[in-house]
Amino acid sequence: MTTEVPSTLWRDDRTHRRRRATRISLTLTALVLLVAAGSLAIGAYTLPLPDVITTLAGQGEARDNFIVFGLRLPRLLLGALVGAAFAISGALFQTLLKNPLASPDIIGISGGASAAAAYSILFLGLSGAAVPLAAFLGALAAATAIYLLAWRGGVTGYRFVLIGVGVAFMMQAVLGYLITRGDVRDVQQALVWMVGGIGGASWVDIVVLALTLAVLLPAVGLFVPRIRMLQLGDDTAGGLGVRVESTRLTLLVIAVALAAVTTAFAGPVAFVAFVSAPIARRLIGTGSLALVPSALVGILLVTAADFVAQHLLPGTLQVPVGIITGVVGAPYLLWLLATANRRGRGA
C-alpha cells in the first residue's frame, strides 16, 4: 500500500529551495553592487572606477573625497537603507494581513507620516530632527486609527486594507490642504514629503536610520519562525503554538516603526514597500518568506530609480526618486487589481 520512496526526496527539495534562494540573493546583491558602482562613478564629474575604489579606501584626493563622501555616497546609502526598510515593512504588512494591497504606502501609514511632517514644517515651523519625529508620530497615529477601526475581536486583512485605503485618502486630503495653505518658501521643503526624495541625504540621517534598522531588523529576525507559521493561516498557526494576536500586533508595530522612520527621512517613496516583497517572492516562487531577497529588491529599486532620476532622464531634468518608483509601481497595482478578482480573492 505504502509505496517505498527514498526518504531523501524531501531533503532534496529543501536543499533545492535553499540553493535557489541563495542564488537569487547573490544575483540581486551583484546587481545592487553594479548600481552602487555606477552611482558613485557617474555624475557631473565622472570618476573612473579605480579612483572610486581608492577614495572609498581612504586614499583619495580631496576633490574625489568631496564628490564621493560629500555627495554621492550619502545619497546611495540613504537610498539603500530606505529601500531595505520599506521592503521589509511592506513584506511584514502583506504577510501579517494576508493581502497584497496591505502595504504602508497604500493603507495610509506613509500618508500619516507625510501629513504630520508637512504640518510640522508649515505650521509649527519645525525643522531638523523634529520633523522625522513628527512623521513618526503621524504614522503611528494613522496605524492606530486603522487598527482600532478594523478591530472586531481580531483583525482581518480585508477590513484593515479597506479602512487603510480610506485613511490614505484622508491623509492625501490633509496634505493637499496643508500645502495650499502653507508659506511658499516652506512648501518647497514640504514637497519632499509628498513624493519622496533622497537628494538631501545627510550623514546624520543615515546614522539615525541605520541605528533604527540595527534594532528593528534583528527583532524581525527573531520572529521569522512565527511569521512562517502565520503564513499558514491563524488557526493553523495557533494550533502549532503561536500566540496569534499578540505576535501579529508586535510585528505590526515593528512594521509601522520601519515605515514611519523611513518616511520621516525620505518621504513616502512610492510603491517600494508595495512591490518589493511580491517581486522577491515571485523570483523565488516557493512560498518562502524571502525577507532578505525582499530587502535586496527594495535596495535595488530605490538606488536604481534614483540613478535613473539623476542621470537617465532627457535633458537636465532631475526628479525626486519617488516619481520613478511610482512609474514602476503603479502598473503593478493596476495588474494586481485586474487579476485579483479573477482569482476570486477579492483583494
Contact pick of 285, 312, 318, 341 for another protein (by CB under 8 A): 285
User: Three-class SS of residue 84?
Assistant: helix
Cell of 318: 532631475
Site for another protein contains 228 (CB under 8 A)? yes
Site for another protein contains 62 (CB under 8 A)? no
Q: How far is CA 83 from CA 80, 131, 224, in A?
A: 5, 20, 20
Site for another protein contains 341 (CB under 8 A)? no
Of residues 229, 267, 237, the one with CA closest to residue 85? 267
User: 279 and 113 in contact (C-beta within 8 Å)?
Assistant: no
Q: Which is nearer to another protein, 18 or 63 (CB)?
A: 18
Contact pick of 207, 232, 313, 337 for another protein (by CB under 8 A): 232
Please, what is the minimum distance in Å from the beta carbon of residue 152 to another protein? Answer: 7
Distance of alpha carbon 344 from alpha carbon 103, whole angstroms:
20
Region of 47-55, 180-188, 217-225, 324-332 interacting with another protein (CB under 8 A): 217-225
User: 294 and 87 in contact (C-beta within 8 Å)?
Assistant: yes
User: What residues between 19 and 48 interact with another protein by CB under 8 A?
Assistant: none
Region of 181-189, 220-228, 291-299, 308-316 interacting with another protein (CB under 8 A): 220-228
Cell of 42: 557617474
Please, what is the minimum distance in Å from the beta carbon of residue 9 to another protein? Answer: 4
Please, what is the minimum distance in Å from the beta carbon of residue 238 to another protein? Answer: 5
Region of 32-40, 125-133, 221-229, 326-334 interacting with another protein (CB under 8 A): 221-229
Contact pick of 243, 312, 313, 341 for another protein (by CB under 8 A): 243
Site for another protein contains 218 (CB under 8 A)? no
Cell of 203: 550623514
User: 60 and 51 in contact (C-beta within 8 Å)?
Assistant: yes
Contact pick of 44, 45, 235, 316 for another protein (by CB under 8 A): 235
Site for another protein contains 342 (CB under 8 A)? no
* Range 109-133 burial, b when 16+ CB lie within 10 A, else e: bbbbbbbbbbbbbbeeebeeeebbb
Of residues 275, 241, 215, the one with CA closest to residue 86? 275
Please, what is the minimum distance in Å from the beta carbon of residue 10 to another protein? Answer: 4
Q: How many residues does the chain have?
A: 347
Following DSSP, what letter does each residue of 269-312 receive, concatenated? -TTHHHHHHHHHHHHH-SS---HHHHHHHHHHHHHHHHHIIIII
Q: Which is nearer to another protein, 204 or 215 (CB)?
A: 215
Indicate the DSSP class of residue 13. Answer: H
User: What residues between 89 and 108 interact with another protein by CB under 8 A?
Assistant: 98
Q: Which is nearer to another protein, 125 or 225 (CB)?
A: 225
Positions touching another protein (CB under 8 A) are 1-3, 5, 7, 9-14, 16-17, 98, 152-153, 222, 224-225, 228-229, 231-233, 235-236, 238-243, 281, 284-288
